[in-house]
């Protein structure tokens, strides 16, 4: 129950952080994944799930009135599901192995891909609930003919913020309950360690390609993107 309480509290916090209050980037999948991993006692697993989910959500920019996936609370669900699937933290790393090498030695056992799947599925649910919840806030706006305009405006403002947190909590509670009932009964993951990571990384490249197009295209930013990827890999291996 203690772990559930921490994770639900985290989901409430990142639900508000997404767009309603603060926007301190805690709701980004990588950050949420690390925090959820710390709550479950497996920071490496949380970082792995969060980093992969981050790849999928980088092109989704939360602006305007359109529907977009909500990754923060969903990442909490993903890390919880991955932990249930047998995430055992870091495998015994070779002496002197870098941070990236240590993370890649996580025992997949279906844990990481299952966590990513749960996170992506519930991020779509979060996007739908976000759109539905926003339909409620205009009902709290004051009537121009009333004299309690200030109080009604405060109700609309803080009610919307609270509703964002409650939405995150509900998504996490529903997802964690489904994961707890479903994950222990799943068949063993059929792919090898190497094939699992290759599949996850190749799938993550698809949304990155669309992000590159949004930012200016391959001709304009291709060299910068390739250089950043190489530098990131070198730093990750050496660190």
Number of domains in the chain: 1
pLDDT value of position 63: 65
pLDDT value of position 18: 78
Q: Give the span between the Cα atoms of 217 and 178, in whole angstroms.
A: 40
pLDDT value of position 16: 85
Domain enclosing residue 16, as ranges: 2-238
10: pLDDT confidence band, cut at 50, 70 and 90? very high
Positive/negative CA dihedral, 178, 182, 184, 186: negative
Residue pLDDT, tens place only, 167-203: 889 999 999 999 988 888 877 777 777 777 778 777 7
Residue pLDDT, tens place only, 125-166: 888 887 777 777 766 666 666 656 667 677 667 777 788 888
pLDDT value of position 27: 85
* SS3 of residue 148 by DSSP: coil
C-alpha distances in angstroms, 108 versus 27, 73, 104, 116, 156?
25, 22, 9, 12, 45
Residue pLDDT, tens place only, 82-110: 988 875 443 333 344 444 444 444 555 57
168, 11 contact by CB (below 8 A): yes
Q: What mean pLDDT comes out for the span 106-119?
A: 78
pLDDT value of position 144: 61
Q: First CA to last CA across the chain, in angstroms? A: 36
Q: Give the span between the Cα atoms of 43 and 35, in whole angstroms.
A: 7
Residue pLDDT, tens place only, 40-83: 888 888 998 998 898 888 777 666 666 678 888 999 999 999 98
């Amino acid at each position: 129950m203690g772990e559930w309480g921490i994770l639900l509290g985290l989901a409430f916090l990142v639900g508000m952080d997404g767009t309603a209050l603060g926007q301190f980037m805690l709701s980004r999948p990588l950050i949420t994944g690390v925090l959820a991993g710390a709550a479950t006692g497996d920071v490496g697993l949380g970082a792995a799930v969060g980093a992969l989910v981050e790849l999928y959500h980088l092109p989704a920019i939360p602006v305007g009135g359109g529907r977009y996936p909500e990754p923060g609370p969903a990442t909490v669900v993903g890390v919880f599901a991955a932990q249930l699937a047998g995430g055992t933290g870091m495998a015994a790393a070779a002496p002197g192995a870098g941070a990236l090498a240590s993370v890649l030695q996580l025992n997949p056992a279906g844990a990481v891909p299952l966590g990513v799947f749960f996170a992506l599925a519930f991020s779509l649910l979060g996007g739908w609930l976000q759109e539905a919840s926003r339909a409620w806030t205009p009902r709290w706006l004051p009537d121009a003919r009333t004299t309690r305009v200030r109080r009604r405006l405060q109700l609309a403002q803080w009610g919307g913020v609270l509703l964002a947190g409650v939405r995150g909590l509900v998504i996490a509670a529903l997802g964690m309950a489904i994961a707890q009932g479903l994950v222990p009964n799943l068949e063993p993951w059929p792919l090898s360690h190497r094939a699992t990571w290759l599949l996850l990384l190749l799938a993550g490249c698809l949304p990155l390609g669309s992000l590159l197009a949004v930012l200016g295209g391959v001709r304009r930013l291709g060299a910068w993107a390739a250089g950043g990827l190489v530098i990131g890999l070198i730093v990750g291996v050496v660190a």
